[in-house]
Structure 1
């Protein structure tokens, strides 16, 4: 045998041995590390400490070290040997690849690469949604099916069944991207989608509030990369993406719930105990400890394990997950589900950590209460919660008391001491209770409430009054998908009826409401009015940030003004069935020297000298000249 051949055989032998070792190491890594969360991170964060969770069979039996002169601040091992939480200090560390080594008996058993990525320029100073925006809420499963090929996926249980009202119907991220022109034409500037992360419940998973993996977009909606493309597509249109974030609970199919890191990762009684839903126990000075505990710690429903934000590991996990999504998907805001059911100390820390990292980032919390003082308690710097030295740091809350007023007010043709437009007026008389009224989310409906067009039997004039109100009062107006074309739905028949498919979102739909030609005459009437109203609002800083003066309704006619140093807008809402004429001299403190007003909706001019007349169940939005 030649020397060259011997050398070749030796080289081949060594190569094969090396490859076998590499393969063994690879298999060992795969066998040992099943999850790493966050999956990667970013250099240059304001808070340099990062806690990485490594998950794998008996992984805690190993010692951990890391490359690149990175300092390990802490290593936490819990009663579950399948978890290790490693806290590192990334201060002054550039974007780079780290290598974590897991050793046993002073020998490296396996390694794991970990990326610190470069942040986008000015990421920390990103702008967010505010009162200059109109936010559009949609449920992705019910909006548009852009990719029928992802309707079913072998990795998740529930399959598409459009004939089942509470089933998966196939709407997805691609469908949202395909119809951004529609939203832009409507006047939308911020898009709030109900959650998109994986929900592997066996049924009713379409709403996605029972998440099973909070680092992964549900494959029936698309991929993480598609979500990033949605964000980028919105930004090209000067529109914003608001993520629906759930801090209070996960779904019972969450992979971590099946192998809890700690017994108290979720609230145990042991096991399930229903919340009493009495959020007042969070601040009631007379409440019993057991009632307060059952509100905060009780589960929302049996299929949604209640997360324990008082556990530092849980709180840190949720905080980092939220920040990871902001960086990764270039988000513009959060809407937080069931905000006031969380541990109030823990959720304040979560909120503050995010707004410390992003000072301009807006977060609106769902605080479904029916009293302004109680809702104000949850807003940042609230004069109400200051009494108890509590600050939630939550910038925005949802104006549920205004929503309550919309419930029947437009059917109350005859005014009384407590009925008619006085309900709307009274809502604003309590604005002094809030720290920031411009940062309230105003709405007539959402995915959990009755459909406005069902309540009012698709009465277009009543729709005009409601939309005019939320478009011209203080706060951030939010609309709900489909109402702009007259979509209705009876909540009495179940949630699925108020979450119907948007017509035209599926191949074969006979009515395509995404286009003017595809809409019916009635649908175009609703759409054209909504578009005109919110396109006008886009450029009106007097509406976004101006002051408000309103007048006690007389004969069920409500008049208010929005004004700043440059502009004044007069809004008149006649909630009676008959035409009304009223004198203008009562409003002289706001009319001042203005002689006339031009109606935004019709272009008609109105003389302000003596009196104004308008039809029954109608509105005027007058730009004063």
Structure 2
């Protein structure tokens, strides 16, 4: 073995494959020097990962927990340069992990050195950088009710760089013929079409997760992440993501990262070598969630039912993270803050928020919003009761009954979404059918502590496509009129603005179709005015006019609401402030309807005319008003 080792060394460093041609003393010298050359590399190879890979100085919370990973790394004693205090060292049952906590208070941007020793002898060192933060980073403004959020499934949006469709270090390969496979969309494709989004009126982009998801199949959705510090190579690089952020900000647009606190993918490198047995929930092994989120607050619940909701895995390929484990919680918190700082983010959308350990996710959310007081986080709380959804918003009086505060600034208005699913097909109203469903949704607004921070939407990447349900422009116009003018933060789903359809009954892949024109081989390009067909043009032109009008309307962004009970399936409400008033009329009937305006005197006050923002039509409000079937007015009052 010694001879083979010597032979390998001589070959590796260019001395040929016949060491015997050198004298014995010279062979000894070459071997010794070579060993000294290799030794640091062999020791450094023992440190395989350091996370976070770097950090920032002058953070509000100066405590930093650095995770070191490598074979038997916990046997070493760790010190750090520049008199930086080590406040804690945590070793787990897995000797391949070492968690070192340091206090960075008053430490300027610098390069630290971690020293790993054994029996008082230095074995190796590791450089670790504290970077300078951006100016006023902590005061960044998150997305809010002045924005229009555009939701993108990046794999299906646009392929700006075909050369990264397949990469050597990712398993699933591109196949556009497979509805449930990778199609090749990427970050470059989003960047290429930012001007399209701006022309539509979008001001914020929410992309489904872009971090590496190395599942062998179905990896395109990104929710089974395998490395949460690394952009998936099929989307691009971390630098590409930074470019996306920069290009958005140049256009006065915002970037929202889809963060997953509840689970990782089974291919995550840490799942394959768990730091602790309870890093994920074990039963032992796998048990699926019962999805009954009501067990989080039901005073009559059984503990076993709550356990299977919170601890059960969302699906078998997504191990459920244990946010009650302090090491897990710290890891997730620091990863989230790292992305905000690194990529200059404007917000998070948090997947499956209400499936997490509720005390743990509350601490996670508070830590982020303490660091960034104006940063917005919207949580996916997919429930069908306003009181149950309001429970999860920051400072909820409902949550306070149980002494609970999630600190979550925003939740999603799923009850309004529920109404959108059938209301525009209900032409004949009765007590609980027709447009009354929309009216009733807003009667419960008092339950929410911050009603202007509710995300309102007709669809998203997990629901049936709106245009598949209705398949007509009139219904789309009524829905978008509502989305654009009611309280809250409007969100639209990519492609709906050109009439894209997709049937969830055929699987999620069908509601995530490719945007036409996103691939060079596409027969037409709906990203351009000249490339849109007649139907796409009609949808887009309406959407663009509506959402661009909304951009500057503070009366819509944060005005008050006055609504009137629908009559004959006609719904009227006002958005108003001290300076402006907008009257919205939606006729959900399949017949033209005429109504007397005297009933709305409370909202009309001294206004006598209104101009429809889409058509430009002037409406005399001192006379009876007739509105065409399945149509809407947005009247700026004068």
**TM-score, normalising length: structure 2:** 0.95
Within the alignment, does 1:621 sit opposite 2:629 as a pair? no
Give the alignment partner of residue 543 of structure 1, picking from 541, 551, 556: 556
Q: CA offset at residue 578 of structure 1?
A: 1.0
Q: Which residue of 2 aligns with 1:601?
A: 614
Aligned-partner Cα distance in 2 for 1:485–1:302:
36
- Corresponding residue for residue 583 of structure 2: 570
* Deviation sequence 1:178-225 (CA, Å, 0-9, x none): 000000000000000000000000100000100000000000000000
User: What does residue 367 of structure 2 align with?
Assistant: 353
For residue 132 of structure 1, report the CA deviation from its aligned partner. Answer: 0.3
The match for 1:130 is: 144
SS of match in other structure, 1:185: helix
Which residue is 1:28 aligned to?
43
Counterpart for residue 464 of structure 2: 450
Distance in 1 of aligned mates of 2:413 and 2:426: 21
Tell me how far 1:26 sits from its aligned partner.
Answer: 2.7
CA distance in 1, matches of 2:30, 2:480: 72
Q: Say whether 1:396 aligns with 2:410.
A: yes
Number of residue equivalences: 611
Match of 1:610 among 623, 626, 629: 623
Please name the residue that 2:21 is paired with: none
SS in 1 for 2:401: helix
Partner of residue 77, structure 2? 63
Identify the residue that residue 471 of structure 1 maps to in structure 2: 484
Distance (Å, rounded) in 2 between the aligned partners of 1:238 and 1:63:
48
Q: How does 1:139-218 map to 2 (within 5 A)?
A: 139-218=153-232
Note the C-alpha offset of 1:511. Answer: 1.5
Q: Identify the match of residue 372 of structure 1 among 373, 386, 392.
A: 386
Q: Secondary structure at the match of 1:388?
A: coil
Distance 1:597 1:318 in 2: 51
Aligned-partner SS, 1:32: coil
Q: Deviation per CA, 1:261-294: give whole Å up to 9, x if none.
A: 0000000000000100000000000000110111
Select which of 29, 38, 43 maps to 2:57: 43
**Cα separation, 2, equivalents of 1:195 and 1:518:** 29
Correspondence 1:506-517 to 2 at 5 A: 506-517=519-530
Structure 1 position 583 matched with structure 2 position 591: no
Report the aligned-residue RMSD: 1.2
The DSSP-based 3-state class of the residue aligned with 2:502 is: coil
Question: How many Å apart are 1:610 and its aligned residue?
Answer: 2.5
Provide the C-alpha distance between the structure 2 equivalents of 1:584 and 1:288, rounded to a whole number of angstroms.
54
**Unmatched segments (≥5 aa) in structure 2:** 1-27
Paired with 1:44 and 1:318, the residues of 2 have a C-alpha distance of 20
CA distance in 2, matches of 1:400, 1:218: 30
Residues 1:16 and 1:407: Cα distance change in structure 2 (over 3 Å):
same
For residues 342-373 of structure 1, give each alpha carbon's deviation from its aligned partner in whole angstroms, at most 9, with x where no partner exists. 00000000000000000000000000000000
Secondary structure of 1:92's partner? Answer: coil
Q: CA deviation at 1:508?
A: 1.1
1:3 corresponding residue in structure 2: none
Instruction: Please say if 1:484 is aligned against 2:484.
Output: no
Q: Does 1:415 align with 2:429?
A: yes
Corresponding residue SS for 1:160: coil
Of 609-618 and 368-377, the range deviating more from structure 2:
609-618
Secondary structure of the equivalent of 1:384?
Answer: helix
Note the C-alpha offset of 1:24: 2.1
User: How far apart in 2 are the matches of 1:523 and 1:17?
Assistant: 72
Residue in structure 2 matching 1:386, options 380, 400, 406: 400
Task: Spell out, residue by residue over 1:375-394, the C-alpha distance to the aligned partner (whole angstroms, 9 max, x if none).
Answer: 00000001111111100000
Partner of 2:582, secondary structure, is strand
Cα distance between partner residues in 2 of 1:379 and 1:128:
16
- C-alpha displacement of 1:18: 7.7
CA distance in 2, matches of 1:96, 1:55: 23
Match of 2:323 in 1: 309
- Give the superposition deviation at 1:597: 0.6
2:462 is the alignment partner of 1:431: no
Name the SS of the counterpart of 1:79 in structure 2: coil
Aligned partner of 2:7 in structure 1 is none
Q: How far apart are 1:470 and its partner, in Å?
A: 0.6
Q: Distance in 2 between matches of 1:111 and 1:80?
A: 22
Question: Where do 5+ consecutive residues of structure 1 fail to align?
Answer: 1-12
Separation in structure 2 between the aligned mates of residue 313 and residue 19 of structure 1, nearest angstrom: 40
Q: Distance in 2 between the 1:266 and 1:558 partners?
A: 49
CA distance in 1, matches of 2:118, 2:193: 54
Cα separation, 2, equivalents of 1:240 and 1:21: 51
Q: Distance in 2 between matches of 1:493 and 1:293?
A: 32
Give how far 1:32 is off. Answer: 1.0
Instruction: Specify the alignment match of 2:314 in structure 1.
Output: 300
User: Paired residue for 1:504?
Assistant: 517
Q: Distance in 1 between matches of 2:342 and 2:61?
A: 17
Superposed displacement of residue 558, structure 1: 0.1
Take 2:604 and 2:203, find their aligned partners in 1: how far apart are those partners? 31
